[in-house]
Structure 1
């Protein structure tokens, strides 16, 4: 099969990075060139709230050079992603337009959950090692410049993933105005890290055994050089990590520059990175530290190769997204039995009406997550559960979902028990920031309406939470969605609710759902 050249571009908080990759079905993914330009966009964003003209001009110049390198390698396919600094900058839309006009590059700002999920895919390319490690309790720690992400695995299942404001540049910016000795500076960093880890430890590490820590992110690549580990295995144990941290914490910035071969801008970021990894290792009790040596660009290439069907992953990533949603539902005491029944009904309706709704596999996944989380708000308020569910979903990152996808799910849940108003759907997401293809606000509103109609109808079928219609069959007959059940008991409440929800379903899809109950002879 022909080899495809692909370019991955990361616009990070501290650097711009270009990776050129050779991708083929036979040999997989191979990085043939990598270029990195240090530019501290995060300093502007985290201190001023926006990116200055000077940095924007420098960024565009570097990206122009990147496009020249891409042409040299004949890499016609590319993906360019912006992370924390662009995501949090008030003038991000202006910056994106400047980049487009000056370089021709279309940059997409990805959510934090997408960013971590992409890096996670790069780890999964190391199939044998990754699958073996996550059979035991494992934490993936991704320390970036703007934030850090901790994802917990147990027996090949993603238990939870949480973002913490522990990016190295963010920590460094907090301490920049505090005059202190090396020793005091180290203490301040540890206090910041410990404060953020306190809640995480109480909520997610109680009674959980973690054997392995997987460290990813740009910062770990520099730390790795000095850890003294066996480079063939890319591993260090807890004792080696502790010795290394104590040595690093006693170095001045000049000594860090010299020992790690980094410039004066990067030197202050290494101690915060080491502190986060060390403290997480202590908090989890992990004994082994694995460093697979991957970055976001590797993940971008893996994501492209997978979506283009140039390679196949052995790991099922959709299951991880669903596991994260189900763990959220469990945290908020959702009715697991009802959710399971509801998921069966909703997916059966989705599959039976495919030619009427025109949705695909991704929308089916969003429906599953909406079903899983539709009642999470009852934990906050039984009376206003739909609004509470909306707020909880909007406030909780779900790994692998974009901000827009999370917003779609939140609106589906909100309108499950509220009159649908086509003119009242308001999106926080700037459509230009998301990879929405041909979708506009109107199209997204219709998508929300379609998923809402299916969720409502499925919910009506289990009105009493007794799974009376688990044997039901669905078929399209003469312009009707005929749902047939062999249940012989009382379906009065289900029938009344079904008829009420059928009107909206017919309005959206143009077919009338009909409930039929077989009578036993």
Structure 2
């Protein structure tokens, strides 16, 4: 396969960045050029909720220069992603339209969970180190300008991931109006960080041992290099980093500028970043700190390379999404055996109906997650579990899923227990406009209806929660989905429920489900 030239653009909260990459099956992903421009978009968003025209104008000029660089390299593909500054800006659609009209570059706003997931893919592209380190308790700490993400691994499995509003630019803006000296400001930042992290510890770190920390984000690249006298470094002990912090916290802004070779704006962000990493190290008790040197542009290139099948990753990312979903179901006390059974049934129905439903691998994953989480609402309300489940899913980030995908799952779970109304499917219009992809509102509604029909039918097959049909086989014959079981006991409850759900299934797919009990000859 020929070498591909790919461009990645990061429209971040504090800077615009362009990366040019050479991607091939033989050499993998290799960065050949890198351009950055500091522009504090997040300062406007976090303070005023909108981005000023002057900054939009500056941004368009820089991206226009990026487009010229891309053309000079004759790139064959590009992706431009915007993160929290545009995600949270009230005028984001106007800004995106200005960029498109003035530069020809289409910028997509990605959700926080998508952003962190592709960064995670870039780490995983370093196969040898990544697979070795996550065999023991590991936390990935991704400190950005708008927020930070903490993801926990144990024995190769993603346990949980949480987003905390502790981005370094956001913290700096919160501190901006306080008339205090540097030492007091650092103390206030520590208290702010501790408040969030202590809650995280109580909920997610109980009885969990963290041996290693993986640090990503722009600021850690500067901090790690200077902690070893300006030399690039990938591994630091917790003790070395904490000792380094004790030195940097007493530096003036001018000293930080000189030491790190950055401007005053960037220098003001490095101490808050160091405080965050230092407190996470102390909180988790991690012994080693790995800095793989990942920027968001690297992550965008990794995502593109995987989807184009130019580079093959050995880590199963879909399993991470499922593992996070299962841990979420466990947190809300979902019935384990029933949930396992539901996963089996929905996938069996989906795979049997491949020729008829027109859905693919991604939709299969969304259906599986819906099956895992379908009963989480009972933790809040036994009376209105469907509405409660919708609220839980929409309030919980699931790493690797877009806002729209999470909304699809939430609606499927919601309509598992409510009458389906094509005209009242809830879709957040702002998220719908920002999401990647080109599906219309009607397309999304039909997809939700299809997944709901499968989930309902699968749920009816274990109505008693006794897994009576665990040996069932499914196939389509003569316009019917025939579900056959050898269960010899009474399955009246399942049969009644199955017939009730069959009507909606037939309405959606034009195929009638039939339940058959195959009895043994005596």
Q: What TM-score does the superposition give when structure 1 sets the normalisation length?
A: 0.99
Contact 2:224 2:232 in 1 (8 A): no
Q: Secondary structure at the match of 1:273?
A: helix
What's the counterpart of residue 130 of structure 2?
A: 130
Contact 2:4 2:76 in 1 (8 A): no
Write the distance in 2 (CA, Å) between the matches of 1:314 and 1:490.
Answer: 46
Write the distance in 1 (CA, Å) between the matches of 2:63 and 2:229.
Answer: 35
Measure how far apart 1:231 and its partner are. Answer: 5.5
Measure how far apart 1:230 and its partner are. Answer: 10
Q: Secondary structure at the match of 1:266?
A: helix
Contact 2:253 2:264 in 1 (8 A): yes
* 1:62-211 mapped onto 2 (5 Å cutoff): 62-211=62-211
Q: Is the counterpart of residue 286 in structure 1 residue 286 in structure 2?
A: yes
Contact 2:157 2:323 in 1 (8 A): yes
What's the counterpart of residue 317 of structure 1?
A: 317
Q: Is the counterpart of residue 22 in structure 1 residue 25 in structure 2?
A: no
What's the counterpart of residue 432 of structure 1?
A: 433
Write the distance in 2 (CA, Å) between the matches of 1:210 and 1:11.
Answer: 33
What's the counterpart of residue 10 of structure 1?
A: 10
What's the counterpart of residue 32 of structure 2?
A: 32
Contact 1:229 1:236 in 2 (8 A): no
Q: 1:360-396 CA deviation, whole Å, 9 max, x = no partner?
A: 0000000010000011111110111110000000000
Write the distance in 1 (CA, Å) between the matches of 2:257 and 2:349.
Answer: 61
* 1:218-237 mapped onto 2 (5 Å cutoff): 218-228=218-228, 234-237=234-237
Measure how far apart 1:8 and its partner are. Answer: 0.4
What's the counterpart of residue 487 of structure 2?
A: 487
Measure how far apart 1:296 and its partner are. Answer: 0.7
Measure how far apart 1:488 and its partner are. Answer: 1.1
Q: 1:445-485 CA deviation, whole Å, 9 max, x = no partner?
A: 00000000000000000000011111111111110001111
What's the counterpart of residue 259 of structure 1?
A: 259
5+ residue gaps, structure 2, are: none
Write the distance in 1 (CA, Å) between the matches of 2:322 and 2:3.
Answer: 34
Q: 1:159-218 CA deviation, whole Å, 9 max, x = no partner?
A: 110000000000000000001111101101101100111110101111111110010001
Write the distance in 1 (CA, Å) between the matches of 2:139 and 2:361.
Answer: 29
Q: Secondary structure at the match of 2:264?
A: coil
Q: Is the counterpart of residue 471 in structure 1 residue 484 in structure 2?
A: no
Q: Is the counterpart of residue 517 in structure 1 residue 511 in structure 2?
A: no
Q: Does the C-alpha gap of structure 1 residues 230 and 92 become closer, same or farther in structure 2, counting only changes over 3 Å?
A: closer
Write the distance in 1 (CA, Å) between the matches of 2:313 and 2:407.
Answer: 28
Contact 1:10 1:18 in 2 (8 A): yes
What's the counterpart of residue 359 of structure 1?
A: 359
Contact 1:158 1:320 in 2 (8 A): yes
Write the distance in 2 (CA, Å) between the matches of 1:40 and 1:267.
Answer: 13
Q: Secondary structure at the match of 1:90?
A: coil
What's the counterpart of residue 462 of structure 1?
A: 462
What's the counterpart of residue 302 of structure 1?
A: 302
Contact 2:137 2:155 in 1 (8 A): yes
Larger deviation, residues 397-406 vs 177-186: 177-186
Q: Does the C-alpha gap of structure 1 residues 175 and 230 become closer, same or farther in structure 2, counting only changes over 3 Å?
A: closer
Write the distance in 2 (CA, Å) between the matches of 1:116 and 1:281.
Answer: 20
Contact 2:140 2:151 in 1 (8 A): yes
Measure how far apart 1:420 and its partner are. Answer: 0.3
* 1:357-506 mapped onto 2 (5 Å cutoff): 357-430=357-430, 431-437=432-438, 439-506=439-506
Measure how far apart 1:5 and its partner are. Answer: 0.2
Write the distance in 2 (CA, Å) between the matches of 1:504 and 1:519.
Answer: 28
Contact 2:411 2:426 in 1 (8 A): no
Q: Secondary structure at the match of 2:50?
A: coil
Contact 2:378 2:389 in 1 (8 A): yes
Write the distance in 1 (CA, Å) between the matches of 2:184 and 2:230.
Answer: 32
5+ residue gaps, structure 1, are: none
Write the distance in 2 (CA, Å) between the matches of 1:257 and 1:27.
Answer: 37
Contact 1:13 1:84 in 2 (8 A): yes
Q: Secondary structure at the match of 1:26?
A: coil
Write the distance in 2 (CA, Å) between the matches of 1:154 and 1:344.
Answer: 25
Q: 1:22-64 CA deviation, whole Å, 9 max, x = no partner?
A: 0001110000000000000000000000111110111011000
Q: Secondary structure at the match of 1:265?
A: helix
Q: Does the C-alpha gap of structure 1 residues 187 and 327 become closer, same or farther in structure 2, counting only changes over 3 Å?
A: same
Write the distance in 2 (CA, Å) between the matches of 1:370 and 1:178.
Answer: 46
Measure how far apart 1:229 and its partner are. Answer: 7.5
Q: Does the C-alpha gap of structure 1 residues 231 and 481 become closer, same or farther in structure 2, counting only changes over 3 Å?
A: farther
Q: Secondary structure at the match of 2:177?
A: coil
Write the distance in 2 (CA, Å) between the matches of 1:445 and 1:229.
Answer: 57
Q: 1:253-312 CA deviation, whole Å, 9 max, x = no partner?
A: 111111111101111100110011000000100010110011111010000000011011
Write the distance in 2 (CA, Å) between the matches of 1:519 and 1:238.
Answer: 64
Write the distance in 2 (CA, Å) between the matches of 1:513 and 1:490.
Answer: 20
Measure how far apart 1:323 and its partner are. Answer: 0.5
Q: Secondary structure at the match of 2:383?
A: coil
Q: What TM-score does the superposition give when structure 2 sets the normalisation length?
A: 0.98
Measure how far apart 1:432 and its partner are. Answer: 3.1
Q: 1:193-251 CA deviation, whole Å, 9 max, x = no partner?
A: 00111110101111111110010001111112211189576111111111111111101
Contact 2:23 2:310 in 1 (8 A): yes
Measure how far apart 1:426 and its partner are. Answer: 2.6
Measure how far apart 1:355 and its partner are. Answer: 1.0
What's the counterpart of residue 43 of structure 2?
A: 43
Measure how far apart 1:76 and its partner are. Answer: 2.8
